[in-house]
């Protein structure tokens, strides 16, 4: 594991400040939490009252006692942040996994899985997932009607990789009877799409909202059971980037060696997002080693999280322009003589293709360089595409508390509208977090073409990289743990 400082002394001083800061922030967090009630607690007044009478005074007292040492530690951290790296790359030497029906060892030095006979296997088909895990301090998670459950999220991901990873996306898919042919159809295979309960074997995980440092480390520990390379604690801490608040929340896990890394934070942000160092995490990964007479084969994977609740401001448009410029620059500086097989952007874009208020964002030049597989035309998604932003007030409903239940809801357009936000946003504000489905005077849901279609979690493919999209699926595996629907894409590179 590479440390967050070049100097071990600075690293240990930074960790020392954590001893004073973590109890302080925990007490403040626990003081606020009882005042923010989740829907699962509405019918438990005794629990709410006991927390108010016991947790509030105890944590308030702890907050007062710990304030002075925490303030000194925070001031020390401000100085240390000047020397802190913008990310940590955590790497393990060897990791055992099950690949197909064959026990294999994943050697991080070569990046190639070797079979029992020691024969190297070259890869041409890969899978990538984007997921917003909402790992926030409890008080903030409760605004989303959630709890910080990093270990549970990691366990579900790892279990699927160990027990379902040998199955292809085609085996796992809950199929819909639609086949998509993208532009330049001669270069692309038909796409199969649907809603799955389980994740297929994933080569890359692009994660957002890992804001809670302690929870991120729990998730890191779980993911390292499968993924040798993980980038976490991504962000630049300064008054300009985040007011010394939260990091970017981005994390990237890979089965393949990471060759180059860079992170840039968005120079413009507003509202609560100004407290987080949101930006673009850029990685170059080794897909296949160089063989005699051929070039080394690499891929570019970018992870991002854009401005939320932009309103009438043009912040999101400026951030999209930054992404376009940064991806071009990063690729130009790092490609060298390598052969690029794929170039993909994943993340939470916080706007959808259908909402009238998001039209300008969808018209940005980024979408001429990169293709959104789910988009049929501007303002219209493919018929099989579903929304990925759930109504926070409904994530704890019994019907969507299990992966199987959430899958059933997502596959039904009428039921989905009750639990997923509609893509009819005119003005993006915090009010959409507390929106309810439209109902008639009899209490029946009024279905609309944009019902349950707010799809803000995207996987974009660069147009000049000839990929064959094998499958594109929405996964219900993290039901009850996050208010976003993970998205998975499997693709074959034309070598």
Indicate if the pLDDT at residue 110 is higher than 60. Answer: no
Calculate what percentage of the chain has a pLDDT beyond 90.
Answer: 64
C-alpha dihedral over 317, 320, 322, 327, to 10 degrees?
Answer: -170
The enclosing H or E element of 279 equals strand 279-288
Quickly state the pLDDT bin for 225 (edges 50, 70, 90): very high
User: Of 249, 432, 267, which is closest to residue 351 (Cα–Cα)?
Assistant: 432
> What is the structure's pLDDT at 189?
40
> What is the structure's pLDDT at 76?
96
Cα angle 118, 106, 299 (rounded to 5 degrees) comes to 110
Quickly state the pLDDT bin for 183 (edges 50, 70, 90): very low
Provide the 10 A C-beta neighbour count for residue 321: 14
pLDDT digits (tens, 9 = 90+) for 1-39: 677 898 999 999 999 999 999 999 999 988 998 888 877
Pair of tokens at residue 249: 């929340």
Q: What is the largest CA-CA distance in the chain?
A: 73
> What is the structure's pLDDT at 117?
34
Contacting residues for 276 by C-beta, under 8 A, at least 6 apart: 211, 235, 242, 245, 246, 247, 248, 249, 269
Distances (CA, A) of 369 to 309, 366, 423, 463: 25, 5, 24, 6
Mean pLDDT taken over the chain:
86
Cβ atoms of 423 and 456 within 8 Å: the answer is no
Indicate if the pLDDT at residue 331 is higher than 50. Answer: yes
Cβ atoms of 288 and 122 within 8 Å: the answer is yes
Quickly state the pLDDT bin for 101 (edges 50, 70, 90): very low
> What is the structure's pLDDT at 139?
78
> What is the structure's pLDDT at 177?
34
β-sheet bridge partners, residue 302 = 282, 345
> What is the structure's pLDDT at 251?
98
Spot the catalytic one: 212, 256, 305, 484: 484
Q: Looking at per-residue confidence, does 208 or 117 come out higher?
A: 208
pLDDT digits (tens, 9 = 90+) for 456-473: 999 999 999 888 999 999
Phi/psi at 210 (nearest 5 deg)? -90, 65
Would you give the DSSP letter of residue 207?
E
Q: Where on the phi/psi map is residue 195: left (φ > 0), alpha (ψ -120 to 50), or beta?
A: beta
Indicate if the pLDDT at residue 70 is higher than 90. Answer: yes
Pairing of β 94-99 and β 457-462: unpaired
Q: What is the mean pLDDT of residues 264-275?
A: 94
- Rounded to two decimals, the pTM is 0.89
Indicate if the pLDDT at residue 423 is higher than 70. Answer: yes
> What is the structure's pLDDT at 121?
55
Q: What is the mean pLDDT of residues 217-245?
A: 95
**Does 99 qualify as catalytic in the annotation?**
no
Q: Which three-class secondary structure state does DSSP give residue 90?
A: strand
Q: Rounded CA gap, 300 and 465, in Å?
A: 11
Q: What is the mean pLDDT of residues 323-339?
A: 96
Q: Which three-class secondary structure state does DSSP give residue 318?
A: helix
Contacting residues for 155 by C-beta, under 8 A, at least 6 apart: 222
**Helices and strands per DSSP (H, E), number in the chain:** 13, 20
Burial class (CB in 10 A: 0-12, 13-18, 19+), 57: exposed
Count of residues in the chain: 495
- Least reliable range by pLDDT among 74-83, 327-336, 461-470: 461-470
Question: In angstroms, how far is CA 481 from the centroid of its own chain?
Answer: 13
Structural domains in the chain, sorted by start: 8-83 (no CATH), 88-387+457-493 (3.60.10.10)
Give all strands of the β-sheet with 113-114 in edge-to-edge order. 94-99, 102-107, 113-114
Half-sphere exposure (Cβ direction) of 87: Cα atoms closer than 13 Å: 26
């Amino acid at each position: 594991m590479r440390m967050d400082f070049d100097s071990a002394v600075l690293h240990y001083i930074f960790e020392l400040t954590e001893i004073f800061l973590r109890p302080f922030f925990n007490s403040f967090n626990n003081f606020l939490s009882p005042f923010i009630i989740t829907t699962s607690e509405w019918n438990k007044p005794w629990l709410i009252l006991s927390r108010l009478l016991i947790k509030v005074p105890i944590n308030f007292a702890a907050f007062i006692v710990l304030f002075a040492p925490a303030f000194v530690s925070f001031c020390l951290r401000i100085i240390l942040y000047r020397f802190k790296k913008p990310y940590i790359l955590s790497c393990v030497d060897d990791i055992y996994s099950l690949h197909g029906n064959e026990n294999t060892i994943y050697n991080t030095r070569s990046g190639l899985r070797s079979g029992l006979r020691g024969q190297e296997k070259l890869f041409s088909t890969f899978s990538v997932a984007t997921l917003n895990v909402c790992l926030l301090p409890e008080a903030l998670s409760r605004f989303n009607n959630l709890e910080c459950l990093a270990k549970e999220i990691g366990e579900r991901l790892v279990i699927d990789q160990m027990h379902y990873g040998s199955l292809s996306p085609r085996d796992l898919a809950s199929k819909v009877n639609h086949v998509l042919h993208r532009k330049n159809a001669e270069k692309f295979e038909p796409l199969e799409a649907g809603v799955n309960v389980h994740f297929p074997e994933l080569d890359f995980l692009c994660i957002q909202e890992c804001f809670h440092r302690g929870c991120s480390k729990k998730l890191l520990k779980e993911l390292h059971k499968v993924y040798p390379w993980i980038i976490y604690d991504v962000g630049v801490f300064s008054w300009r980037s985040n007011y010394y608040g939260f990091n970017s929340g981005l994390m990237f896990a890979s089965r393949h060696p990471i060759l180059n890394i860079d992170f840039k934070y968005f120079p413009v942000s507003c509202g609560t997002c100004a407290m987080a160092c949101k930006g673009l995490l850029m990685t170059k990964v080794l897909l296949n080693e160089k063989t005699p007479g051929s070039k080394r084969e690499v891929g570019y994977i970018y992870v991002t999280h854009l401005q939320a609740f932009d309103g009438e401001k043009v912040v999101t448009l400026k951030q999209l322009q930054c992404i376009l410029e940064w991806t071009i620059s990063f690729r130009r500086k790092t490609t060298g003589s390598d052969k690029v097989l794929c170039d993909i952007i994943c993340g939470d874009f916080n706007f959808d293709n259908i909402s009238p208020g998001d039209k300008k964002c969808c018209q940005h030049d980024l979408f001429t360089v990169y293709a959104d597989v789910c988009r049929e035309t501007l303002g219209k998604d493919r018929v099989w595409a579903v929304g990925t932003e759930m109504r926070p007030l409904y994530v704890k409903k019994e019907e969507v508390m299990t992966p199987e239940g959430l899958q059933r809801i997502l596959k039904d357009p009428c039921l989905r509208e009750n639990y997923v936000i509609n893509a009819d946003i005119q003005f993006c504000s915090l009010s959409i977090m507390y929106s309810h489905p439209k109902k008639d005077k009899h209490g029946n849901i009024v279905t609309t073409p944009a019902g349950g279609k707010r799809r803000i979690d995207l996987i974009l493919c660069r147009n000049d990289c000839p990929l064959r999209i094998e499958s594109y699926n929405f996964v219900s595996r993290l039901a009850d743990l996050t208010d976003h629907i993970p998205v998975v894409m499997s693709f074959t590179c034309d070598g």
